[in-house]
């Protein structure tokens, strides 16, 4: 890993760095800005959708259950 790369913490348990305890990463708000089809499509059309959500398909009807926890 070079100096520009950073490891992303994906654990749900707290981390200890030096003498500091860091809270676990909370992904519950990961989709808070794309809960509606209108917001989803707006981000998709902006070209930044894949930067924020590479795990999604780009199809609202397939992704909506994932986004809204169904």
Write out the chain's pLDDT in tens, 70 residues: 555 655 555 555 555 556 665 555 555 588 999 999 999 999 999 999 999 999 999 999 999 998 988 7
Give the count of beta carbons closer than 10 Å to the beta carbon of residue 34.
Answer: 23
* Long-range pairs for 26-32: beta carbons < 8 A, 24 or more residues apart: 31/66, 31/67, 31/68
Which pLDDT value is given to residue 39?
96
| Structural domain includes residue 5 | no
Position 61 scores a pLDDT of 96
10 domain-assigned:
no
Q: What angle do CA 60, 70, 50 make, to 5 degrees?
A: 35
Rg (CA), the chain: 16
Q: Is residue 50 part of a domain?
A: yes
DSSP letter at 42 equals H
In a domain, 9, yes or no: no
- Separation of alpha carbons 17 and 56, rounded Å: 31
- 29 occurs within a structural domain: yes
């Amino acid at each position: 890993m070079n100096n520009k790369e950073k490891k992303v913490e994906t654990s749900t348990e707290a981390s200890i760095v030096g003498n500091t305890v860091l809270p676990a990463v909370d992904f519950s708000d990961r989709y808070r800005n794309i809960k509606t089809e209108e917001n989803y499509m707006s981000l998709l059309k902006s070209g930044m959708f894949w930067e924020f959500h590479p795990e999604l398909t780009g199809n609202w009807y397939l992704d909506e259950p994932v986004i809204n926890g169904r």
